[in-house]
């Protein structure tokens, strides 16, 4: 094992859907992993009166199980990084981590649009979390690599035929008869308050990288599907979250789970939205690759598009419908977005680093269906339809208004 | 007086250097002005152990004097808009203002760089203040025009010969043999944590304008010089702030005041920085023009460059030196910036709306000197040199290290 492999890594938000399997992978790869998590995602389940479809264990049970299964120690520290700057800095000084993986943000667009309180929480939490991390790293004087979970949503959708590059866009400007060349950050076009926070993060990364030479990798991730990785399958106590409800559930997993419980597949709008996807196993792999390939000190922020394929939502609905005989139904779209959009995404960098992506065609859809079947009795059908809205002209009670409450789940 | 002129206007930060003369101007123009200010700028004077060179009156005295002099009522409400969202929303509902002028942010770059605490305060305060305002306007459903005091600093300095447009930049992208045209927000390049907050503001404006059709004008202001307007000169109790110290003092006013008290003129670095300027009288006029010329509902964010001329810092130092026989001295520059930069700025929009700018050549330099002479005995020489630094390689005690404490003020 190289010295590099024995280094400390801190995973902010390491108890969450992406953070947990990533923490396990990094632990298995030999990093000494410290999870920093204030368990807010579990508390949000309490707020929303919902729960993960899979029965996730308490964090202490998770850590004990991992120790039992692998012999590896995984630590958990409960710090609210957006509030408790002093504890965060003390931790950084103490651990002197090689890298901090930053999943520590409110990550659901519908949740960020539920109410003024939710909008304000998302802004306040995400901006202060990211800024505290950057400010804290500068204060310690340590050369810590930040690996941040961003989103494809920073680009916006509907890029008029332009293949989305990995973060930077070379442009030309004609002015006063002179041609100027600039290499700019791709112009941000966020679609929700949540997505906006990630565009604000990007600017903070730009500044702290420029002024203080903080080494930063920003991962512009697509929609994650799947539930488990080899690590989370090693013991039932290690099982990962499965969000199926209207706020935190994401499109493909939701479709698969809906088909299992006998709910119509919920397509919002025409389903003409094209989205980028990645399997949860590749999320963990990509973060690992990012840690292993940091930017040099003084190099600009390294931006990866962390996506492996793109699909149109109604095609996914059709695919899941065929696979499971479920009905596809179209609901009022609560979002402000184009009815139809194309999306082509550059993703060479991770492929060049050796990523061999999991794709929809490789049988893992069945695995999600299997997980959904196994825990279908934990589903609360009342939570499936979103109750957030982006638009003053579409009040919350019209979202999912098409034939509401007509169906019942056919679980045991 | 038109109905428009009798409308309510709220001025956030209306007790500050720009906010106070702007509030008076708007009141004189017939708007019913409500100042919202938590008096944090006065409290920051307490924190820094400094004070305005001019003896500013308590806010209540200011308001009473204005009533006495003009017969106009000016209200003051003490709300921390970054913290107390509920009171802000209640005020908006109550007043239903035509416009909210938003000066309510921490506005000094050196202050924002003093320490982690100051960086974090600047981020937390400015971002939540702006977001609370936008979120609150959407919550009320009122069609309120936001007029925001931004900064030329969002563009960064040193634009490689490109004349800085007013906010938007048409660019071309060549990709896969196809030429794309985009009209983007000018790529932000902030030079301090403070400046960064204004680039984050710009993204929030972009989003709330796009998603909720909030009408917004963003004023990218240069460095303000001068102290008084016709309104603040109407009574000594109405006198405006004059910041001369290292954090809040700005370059031209500082030079003039230094020459009066016998301090060497403090040029940081080579003085090769070219900056954009505007007189305080034009600040108030420009905000007035912006209120009178709002964007249409559904129109994108209107961006003005609120500047009237550009000058190189060492040329200003020389000018002031000639005017006053003061010595020009070069100090270690605490900022991360190019030694020399050119700056050309488009500012047609305000000129086309009728602005006849006050320029340096019009005798108002003498007015500043006169104000500085009158109150020179209030100057604390120990506060003149900045004690913030942008750079780990230049510790605070090296800023202004060139022959420190060699001089004494020659005030009465």
Q: What is the pLDDT of residues B261-320, one digit of tens each?
A: 999 999 999 999 999 999 999 999 999 999 999 999 999 999 999 999 999 999 999 999
Q: Is B194 known to be catalytic? A: yes
pLDDT digits (tens, 9 = 90+) for B335-354: 988 888 889 999 999 999 99
CB–CB contact B178 A171 (8 Å): no
CB A120 within 8 A of CB B85: yes
CA distance B116 to chain A (A): 6
Rounded CA-CA distance A66/A84 in Å is 28
CB–CB contact B172 A172 (8 Å): yes
Is pLDDT at B392 greater than 90 in this prediction?
no
CB–CB contact A135 B124 (8 Å): no
Q: For position A6, what pLDDT does the model report?
A: 56
**Closest residue to A203, CB basis, from B169, B188, B210:** B188
CA distance A49 to chain B (A): 25
Is pLDDT at B208 greater than 80 in this prediction?
yes
**Closest residue to B187, CB basis, from A119, A182, A204:** A182
Over residues B367-378, mean pLDDT: 96
Which residues of chain A are within 8 Å of residue B192 when distances are taken between CB atoms? Answer: 211
**What ipTM describes this predicted complex?**
0.95
Rounded CA-CA distance B16/B22 in Å is 10
pLDDT confidence of A291, banded at 50, 70, 90? very high
Q: For residue A324, which phi and psi values (nearest 5 degrees)?
A: -130, 0
CB–CB contact B210 A161 (8 Å): no
The burial of A262, by beta-carbon neighbours within 10 Å (0-12 exposed, 13-18 middle, 19 or more buried), is given as: middle
Mean of all residue pLDDT scores within chain B: 93
| Residue to test with chain A: of B122, B207, B336, most A Cβ within 10 A | B207
Least confident of A116-125, B133-142, B157-166: B157-166
pLDDT digits (tens, 9 = 90+) for B120-150: 999 999 999 999 999 999 999 999 999 999 9
Over residues B181-192, mean pLDDT: 95
Is pLDDT at A4 greater than 70 in this prediction?
no
By CA distance, what is B195's nearest residue in A? A207
Residue A144: how many other CB atoms lie within 10 Å = 24
C-alpha distances in angstroms, A390 versus A48, A125, A243, A350?
18, 20, 21, 34
**Closest residue to B203, CB basis, from A141, A171, A199:** A199
Share of chain A above pLDDT 90, in %: 86
Q: For position B6, what pLDDT does the model report?
A: 56
Least confident of A19-28, A251-260, A356-365, A371-380: A356-365
pLDDT confidence of B67, banded at 50, 70, 90? very high
CB–CB contact B172 A175 (8 Å): no
Over residues B44-70, mean pLDDT: 98
How many pairs of residues across A and B have Cβ atoms under 8 Å apart? Answer: 123
| Residue to test with chain A: of B200, B301, B346, most A Cβ within 10 A | B200
Q: Which of B54, B198, B310, B331 is catalytic?
A: B198
Is pLDDT at B113 greater than 90 in this prediction?
yes
Q: For position B185, what pLDDT does the model report?
A: 95
User: Chain centroid to CA B110: how far?
Assistant: 14
Is pLDDT at A5 greater than 90 in this prediction?
no
Over residues B5-27, mean pLDDT: 93
Share of chain A above pLDDT 70, in %: 94
pLDDT digits (tens, 9 = 90+) for A250-270: 999 999 999 999 999 999 999
CB–CB contact B203 A196 (8 Å): yes
Instruction: List Cβ neighbours of B36 (8 Å cut-off, separation of 6 or more).
Output: B10, B11, B12, B13, B14, B76, B77, B78, B79, B81, B88, B91, B104
Over residues A115-120, mean pLDDT: 98
Rounded CA-CA distance B123/B135 in Å is 17
Q: For position A356, what pLDDT does the model report?
A: 96
Q: For position B396, what pLDDT does the model report?
A: 72
Q: For position B399, what pLDDT does the model report?
A: 66
Rounded CA-CA distance A126/A145 in Å is 19
| Residue to test with chain B: of A113, A134, A207, most B Cβ within 10 A | A207
**Closest residue to A127, CB basis, from B127, B162, B180:** B127
Which residues of chain A are within 8 Å of residue B119 when distances are taken between CB atoms? Answer: 131, 135
By CA distance, what is B142's nearest residue in A? A392
Rounded CA-CA distance A356/A81 in Å is 34
pLDDT confidence of B3, banded at 50, 70, 90? very low
> Which residue(s) pair with B149 in the sheet?
B219
User: Apex CA A345: angle with CA A344 and CA A350, to 5°?
Assistant: 150
pLDDT digits (tens, 9 = 90+) for A211-230: 999 999 999 999 999 999 99
Q: For position A23, what pLDDT does the model report?
A: 98
**Closest residue to B162, CB basis, from A138, A170, A180:** A180
| Residue to test with chain A: of B163, B183, B191, B204, most A Cβ within 10 A | B204
Q: For position A401, what pLDDT does the model report?
A: 59
**Closest residue to B132, CB basis, from A89, A120, A203:** A120
CB–CB contact B190 A204 (8 Å): no
Is pLDDT at B330 greater than 80 in this prediction?
yes
Which position has the token pair 């792999």?
Answer: A285
The full set of domains in chain B, from first to last, is: 4-244+281-308+345-362 (3.40.50.720)
Rounded CA-CA distance A376/A244 in Å is 11
Rounded CA-CA distance A85/B379 in Å is 36
Which residues of chain A are within 8 Å of residue B335 when distances are taken between CB atoms? Answer: none
Q: Which of B151, B229, B310, B389 is catalytic?
A: B151
CB–CB contact B116 A128 (8 Å): no
Looking only at the bridges linking them, the beta strands covering A274-279 and A309-312 are: antiparallel
Rounded CA-CA distance B46/A183 in Å is 44
Q: For position A3, what pLDDT does the model report?
A: 41
pLDDT digits (tens, 9 = 90+) for A41-67: 999 999 999 999 999 999 999 999 999
Q: Which of A152-156, B238-242, B363-367 has the largest mean confidence?
A: B238-242
Question: Is the pTM for the entire model greater than 0.80?
Answer: yes
Which residues of chain B are within 8 Å of residue A138 when distances are taken between CB atoms? Answer: 116, 392
The more confidently predicted of residues B385 and B28 is: B28
pLDDT digits (tens, 9 = 90+) for A174-223: 999 999 999 999 999 999 999 999 999 999 999 999 999 999 999 999 99
Which residues of chain B are within 8 Å of residue A212 when distances are taken between CB atoms? Answer: 392
CB A59 within 8 A of CB A39: yes
CB–CB contact B120 A174 (8 Å): no
CA distance A173 to chain B (A): 5
Least confident of A155-164, B130-139, B371-380: A155-164
Least confident of A391-405, B165-179, B251-265: A391-405
Of B165, B189, B159, nearest in space to A181 by CA = B159
Is pLDDT at B91 greater than 50 in this prediction?
yes
CB–CB contact B170 A172 (8 Å): no
- Catalytic residue set of A: 151, 194, 198
Which residues of chain A are within 8 Å of residue B169 when distances are taken between CB atoms? Answer: 173
> Which residue(s) pair with A268 in the sheet?
A331
pLDDT confidence of B403, banded at 50, 70, 90? very low
CA distance A95 to chain B (A): 20
CB–CB contact A119 B127 (8 Å): no
CB–CB contact A161 B180 (8 Å): yes
Mean of all residue pLDDT scores within chain A: 93
Q: For position B410, what pLDDT does the model report?
A: 38
CB–CB contact A173 B171 (8 Å): yes
Which residues of chain A are within 8 Å of residue B160 when distances are taken between CB atoms? Answer: 180
CB–CB contact A207 B193 (8 Å): yes
- Coil, strand or helix at B112: helix
**Closest residue to B207, CB basis, from A127, A196, A211:** A196
Rounded CA-CA distance A64/B213 in Å is 51
Which residues of chain A are within 8 Å of residue B124 when distances are taken between CB atoms? Answer: 124, 127-128, 131
CB–CB contact A180 B172 (8 Å): no
Which residues of chain A are within 8 Å of residue B200 when distances are taken between CB atoms? Answer: 127, 200, 203-204
CB–CB contact A184 B187 (8 Å): yes
Which residues of chain A are within 8 Å of residue B161 when distances are taken between CB atoms? Answer: 178, 180
| Residue to test with chain B: of A203, A205, A393, A394, most B Cβ within 10 A | A203
What DSSP designation does A231 have? Answer: T
């Amino acid at each position: 094992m190289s010295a590099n492999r024995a280094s400390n890594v801190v995973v902010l938000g390491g108890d969450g859907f992406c953070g947990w399997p990533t923490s396990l992978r990094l632990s298995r790869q030999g990093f000494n992993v410290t999870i920093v998590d204030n368990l807010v995602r579990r508390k949000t389940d309490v707020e929303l009166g919902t729960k993960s479809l899979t029965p996730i264990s308490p964090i202490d049970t998770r850590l004990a199980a991992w120790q039992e299964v692998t012999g590896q120690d995984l630590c958990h520290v409960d710090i609210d990084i957006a509030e408790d700057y002093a504890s965060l800095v003390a931790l950084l000084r103490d651990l002197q981590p090689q890298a901090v993986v930053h999943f520590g943000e409110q990550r659901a667009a519908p949740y960020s649009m539920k109410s003024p309180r939710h909008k304000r929480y998302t802004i306040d939490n995400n901006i202060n979390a990211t800024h505290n991390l950057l400010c804290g790293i500068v204060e310690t004087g340590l050369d810590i690599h930040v690996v941040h979970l961003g989103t494809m949503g920073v680009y916006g959708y509907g890029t008029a035929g332009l293949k989305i590059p990995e973060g930077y866009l070379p442009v030309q400007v004609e002015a006063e008869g002179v041609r100027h060349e600039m290499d700019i950050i791709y112009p941000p076009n966020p679609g929700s308050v949540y997505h906006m926070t990630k565009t604000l993060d990007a600017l903070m990364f730009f500044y702290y990288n420029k002024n203080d030479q903080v080494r930063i990798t920003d991962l512009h991730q697509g929609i994650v599907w799947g539930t488990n990785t080899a690590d989370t399958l090693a013991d039932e106590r290690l099982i990962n979250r499965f969000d199926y409800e209207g706020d935190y559930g994401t499109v493909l997993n939701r479709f698969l789970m809906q088909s299992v419980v006998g709910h119509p597949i919920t397509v919002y709008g025409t389903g003409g939205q094209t989205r980028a996807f990645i399997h949860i196993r590749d999320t963990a792999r990509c973060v690992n690759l990012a840690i292993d390939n940091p930017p040099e000190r003084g190099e600009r922020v390294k931006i990866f598009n962390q996506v492996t394929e793109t699909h149109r939502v109604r095609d996914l609905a059709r695919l899941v419908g065929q696979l499971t005989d479920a009905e596809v139904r179209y609901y009022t779209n609560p979002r402000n977005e184009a009815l139809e959009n194309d999306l082509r995404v550059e993703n060479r960098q991770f492929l060049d680093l050796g990523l061999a992506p999991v794709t929809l065609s490789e049988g893992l859809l069945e695995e999600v269906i299997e997980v959904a079947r196994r825990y279908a009795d934990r589903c609360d059908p009342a939570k499936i339809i979103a109750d957030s809205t982006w638009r003053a002209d579409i009040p919350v009670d019209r979202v999912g208004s098409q034939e509401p409450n007509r169906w019942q789940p056919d679980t045991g």
